[in-house]
């Protein structure tokens, strides 16, 4: 880990509106994420988890504080990010392959030679990725011909195809059934082990966070703030069975306890 502070927040807060109507969405927050780390944010709905991803991807500007990326303030130079949301939002008029290729059409330096390489190098790149997640035989299908799990696999590929510095996942498996979800955890873990991308995962599934992440940030209800940071030290690659063993169950119960008891703590802080 050459750059320990790959992403860092210094007093970053978000407030919507102004004056009397102002609502604080995210309390001033400090955090650092190392390059190649896999962190998860868990917490109740509306706790500002997604806000953190929007800040990092520059979809939203902080109301206060500073965000640094690789030692420079965010915005100074473009950061390459890949995002995936709960809805796969693939474009129905394109094949799965073209959907995954879309970022190469938009992000530099791939964009510059897109016309020249789309049939050759880029196609091979996309197909290799699709093969890794087991979708290669569906590359020429339309998105609506895929199952929900397959669509999310394609969505993951689209978020990864341009080798992003940061992979931002906002409840990507939220709409899937348990078995499909566990399959996709394994797929994502395999991709991460191979690529060592820096991943920020937002989820309210505590098992998902504990299975996938190296570190879990536990957040309180609105206004969001980080209550605790839990390291997760299970050896990789983690087999799915690990989620049924005692240490894992203990960890998720501890996370659950912190989130459930958070409001009480909040009041105590205020008093």
Q: Give the residues lining the site for other proteins (CB under 8 A).
A: 54, 57-59, 78, 81-87, 89, 91-93, 102-103, 105-107, 142, 144-145, 158-159, 162, 168
Work out how close the CB of 55 gets to other proteins at its nearest, in angstroms, rounded to a whole number: 11
In this structure, how many other beta carbons lie within 10 angstroms of the beta carbon of residue 135? Answer: 23
Q: Which is nearer to other proteins, 98 or 243 (CB)?
A: 98
Work out how close the CB of 196 gets to other proteins at its nearest, in angstroms, rounded to a whole number: 21
Work out how close the CB of 175 gets to other proteins at its nearest, in angstroms, rounded to a whole number: 12
Whole-angstrom Cα distance, residue 47 to residue 61?
17
Work out how close the CB of 156 gets to other proteins at its nearest, in angstroms, rounded to a whole number: 12
Q: Which is nearer to other proteins, 91 or 260 (CB)?
A: 91
Buried residues in 161-194 as b, exposed as e (16+ CB within 10 A): bbebbbbbbbbbbbebeeebbbbbbebbbebbee
| Tokens found for residue 213 | 């992440």
No. of helices (H) and no. of strands (E), the chain: 9, 10
Q: Per DSSP, which regions of 17-151 are E strands?
A: 23-33, 38-42, 64-69, 72-73, 81-84
Q: How big is the chain by its Cα radius of gyration, in Å?
A: 19
Work out how close the CB of 33 gets to other proteins at its nearest, in angstroms, rounded to a whole number: 17
> Vertex 61, ends 60 and 65: CA angle to 5°?
140
Work out how close the CB of 203 gets to other proteins at its nearest, in angstroms, rounded to a whole number: 16
Q: Which is nearer to other proteins, 56 or 210 (CB)?
A: 56
In this structure, how many other beta carbons lie within 10 angstroms of the beta carbon of residue 228? Answer: 14
> Vertex 253, ends 247 and 257: CA angle to 5°?
145
Q: Which is nearer to other proteins, 184 or 251 (CB)?
A: 184
Q: Which is nearer to other proteins, 48 or 103 (CB)?
A: 103
């Amino acid at each position: 880990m050459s750059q320990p502070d790959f992403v860092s927040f210094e007093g970053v807060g978000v407030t919507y509106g102004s004056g009397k109507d102002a609502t604080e969405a995210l309390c001033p927050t400090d955090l650092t994420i190392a390059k190649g780390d896999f962190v998860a944010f868990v917490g109740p709905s509306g706790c500002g988890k997604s806000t953190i991803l929007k800040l990092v991807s520059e979809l939203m500007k902080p109301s206060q504080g500073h965000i640094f990326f690789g030692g420079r303030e965010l915005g100074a130079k473009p950061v390459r990010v890949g995002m995936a949301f709960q809805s796969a939002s693939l474009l129905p008029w394109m094949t799965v392959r073209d959907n995954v290729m879309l970022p190469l059409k938009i992000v530099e330096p791939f964009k510059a030679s897109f016309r020249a390489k789309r049939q050759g190098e880029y196609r091979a790149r996309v197909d290799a990725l699709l093969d890794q997640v087991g979708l290669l035989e569906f590359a020429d299908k339309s998105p609506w011909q895929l199952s929900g799990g397959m669509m999310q696999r394609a969505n993951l590929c689209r978020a990864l195809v341009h080798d992003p510095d940061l992979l931002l996942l906002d409840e990507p498996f939220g709409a899937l059934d348990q078995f499909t979800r566990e399959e996709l955890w394994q797929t994502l873990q395999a991709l991460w082990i191979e690529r060592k991308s820096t991943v920020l995962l937002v989820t309210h599934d505590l098992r998902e966070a504990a299975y996938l992440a190296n570190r879990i940030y536990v957040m309180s209800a609105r206004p969001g703030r980080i209550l605790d940071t839990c390291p997760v030290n299970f050896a990789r690659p983690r087999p799915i069975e690990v989620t049924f063993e005692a240490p894992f169950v203990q960890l998720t119960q501890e996370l659950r306890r912190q989130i459930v008891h958070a409001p009480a703590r909040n009041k105590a802080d205020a008093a």
